[in-house]
Amino acid sequence: MDPYDVRLEDDELLAEVELTANLIVAANQSEQQLSPHEIDQVLGVVPRPRRESAGS
């Protein structure tokens, strides 16, 4: 048995590891700190439409 042959069987954990790896790669390739918008893009976050406040 190879101690370095680690397989992830948990789909949610695998997805989380992939998102983290994508974020690390993007941060390493950027010359400056990633903005919140850039982080959202890397993570595939879709912004919610803003709701208008009741006073408007």
Largest CA distance in the chain: 65
Q: Is residue 19 a contact partner of residue 13, using CB atoms and an 8 Å limit?
A: no
pLDDT tens digits for range 2-42: 777 777 678 888 899 899 999 999 999 999 999 999 999 99
Mean pLDDT over the full length of the chain: 86
Cα-to-chain-centroid distance, residue 54: 33
Q: Is the dihedral of CA 31, 36, 40, 43 positive or negative?
A: positive
Q: Encode pLDDT of 23-33 as tens digits.
A: 999 999 999 99
Residue % of the chain over a pLDDT of 90: 50
Q: Indicate whether 47 pLDDT > 90.
A: no
- Identify the three-state secondary structure at position 11: helix
The pLDDT, as a whole number, for residue 29 is 96
